[in-house]
Amino acid sequence: MKLVILGASGGCGRQLVRQALTRGHEVTAVARPSSSYSAPDGATLTRGDIFDQDFLAQTFAGADAVLSSLGLKVPSLSPFATPEVPDLLSRATPIIVAAMKRAEVKRIIAISAGGVGDSYAWMPGVFKVFIKTTVLRKAYAELEKMEKILLESGLDVCCCRPTGLSDDPATGRARVVTSLKGRAQIPRADVAAWMLDAIERPSFAARGPVITVTGAG
Ligand SMILES: NC(=O)c1ccc[n+]([C@@H]2O[C@H](COP(=O)([O-])OP(=O)(O)OC[C@H]3O[C@@H](n4cnc5c(N)ncnc54)[C@H](OP(=O)(O)O)[C@@H]3O)[C@@H](O)[C@H]2O)c1
């Protein structure tokens, strides 16, 4: 498949690029103009502004699907911290959708987070407090908006919702859950593998699945 990966320079994005290449996909990795990221051999690295619809439409042309691991950069977990670009997802997502429609690309899988939308009810109590009292409150509000825009776009959409991310090696044990307890975590490598499995199937089994390795309830 021809895959475009947004947020390729991030922790999950790097995993997506590497694993997609290993699986034999044709990969275009998208990074910011200022990024020092260099994509692995075999991937096409494209630098551009995520808010530039023309750039995105050109980048998406001929692709089978878009995978997004874009996420807010936060300087600390302080409730007073301000994300680098606080409206990143609510501003970029409509532009991504419009560019996909221009390029006639119909499928997108994006990383949201466990605790967004209806999955908030499934979170352990401690984590609910964490979401409400730290800078995550701002990040989660943006993820909610991203999900809504994508889910109402008319595109074929999956907003996967991983639990706490780690850089541990892949386990191959990522699964969809509807309740959580204790320390729920998933390695970024497992998130990427789960997303690629999902995009390789002809349709998404769920539109907002919570995925985890540990902490299934
Ligand atoms: N941390 C967790 O435990 C957790 C749990 C569940 C879900 N999530 C979600 O998963 C997402 C992915 O995680 P991750 O660890 O891969 O995040 P990450 O390493 O911070 O990657 C975020 C990506 O978004 C890009 N980005 C940020 N601001 C941008 C902007 N203004 N313009 C263009 N690109 C921009 C970054 O580019 P640069 O490299 O150039 O900054 C990077 O490629 C998180 O952001 C979050 O929404 C996180």
Q: Is the pLDDT of residue 217 over 90?
A: no
DSSP lists the bridge partners of residue 176 as: 211
Mutation pick for ligand 1 pocket among 4, 5, 9 (CB with most ligand atoms within 8 Å): 9
| Closest C-alpha to 169, from 44, 3, 18, 23 | 18
Model confidence pLDDT, tens digit, residues 140-166: 999 999 999 999 999 999 999 999 999
Ligand 1 atom showing the smallest separation from residue 166 Cα: 3
Residues with CB under 6 A from ligand 1: 7, 9-13, 32, 35, 50, 69-73, 85, 88, 111, 113, 143, 162, 164-165
Q: Please provide the average confidence, as pLDDT, over all residues in the chain.
A: 97
Model confidence pLDDT, tens digit, residues 82-139: 999 999 999 999 999 999 999 999 999 999 999 999 999 999 999 999 999 999 999 9
- For residue 217, the CA-to-ligand 1 centroid distance in Å is 27
Ligand 1 atom showing the smallest separation from residue 162 Cα: 6
Determine the pLDDT at residue 186: 98
Output phi, psi for 120, to 5 deg: -55, -40
- For residue 199, the CA-to-ligand 1 centroid distance in Å is 20
Model confidence pLDDT, tens digit, residues 9-28: 999 999 999 999 999 999 99
- For residue 156, the CA-to-ligand 1 centroid distance in Å is 22
| Closest C-alpha to 150, from 191, 100, 106, 97 | 97
pTM: 0.98
Every domain of the chain and the residues it spans:
2-212
Atom 24 of ligand 1 has which residue's CA nearest to it? 70
Model confidence pLDDT, tens digit, residues 26-66: 999 999 999 999 999 999 999 999 999 999 999 999 999 99
| Under 8 Å between Cβ of 147 and 160 | no
Q: Which CATH architecture has domain 2-212?
A: 3-Layer(aba) Sandwich (3.40)
Q: Please, what's the b/e burial string for 176-186 (b: 16 or more CB within 10 A of its CB; e: otherwise)?
A: ebeebeeebbb
| Under 8 Å between Cβ of 65 and 107 | yes
- For residue 69, the CA-to-ligand 1 centroid distance in Å is 6
